[in-house]
Amino acid sequence: METIFNDTYFMKKALLEAETAFNKGEIPVGAVIVTDNKIIARGHNLTELLNDVTAHAEMQAITAAANFLGGKYLHNCTLYVTLEPCQMCGGALYWSQISNIVYGAKDAARGCLHLQTKLHPKTKVKGGVLEAESAALLKRFFIEKRNLN
């Protein structure tokens, strides 16, 4: 029996990365980059662990995908990320010329699409895939963080 890969399948993989971030005390955002129905890169937030404001899930995944492909452009690749990318990540995605971005929860305060950050003209964007699950994990993280302080 052939496995059917779709946006939900890959977003679940990104959610597993977000759970890894959660378990490390990081804001739970996870990402995977896919080409030809194969995950070539994974990432989750590491800003606290690395003490680096640029260590977002998307940035980790972009770097890993570029290394895997042996080049800086992510043509024919899709980024699955649990939260709408921020402006910084949107800029990096622009320069990578990634073909597709699929995200889970919206980020009305800092999201690159809400702030009208320009993406590459050929990049297609789809939002709301497993949005409730992505948002619930973020909400749980911040509730627990507030209760610890």
Query: Which residues are annotated binding-site positions?
Result: 56, 86, 89
Given 17, 19, 48, 58, the catalytic residue: 58
List residues forming the annotated binding site for Zn(2+): 56, 86, 89
Q: Is 131 a catalytic residue?
A: no
Longest CA pairwise span in the chain (Å): 50
The sheet carrying 78-83 orders its strands as: 38-44, 30-35, 78-83, 100-105, 124-126
DSSP string, 86-119: BHHHHHHHHHHT-SEEEEEE--TTTBTTTTTPPP
Compute the Cα dihedral for 9, 26, 127, 71 and give only its sign: negative
- Cα–Cα distance, 8 to 64 (Å, whole number): 22
Indicate which residues carry an active-site annotation: 58
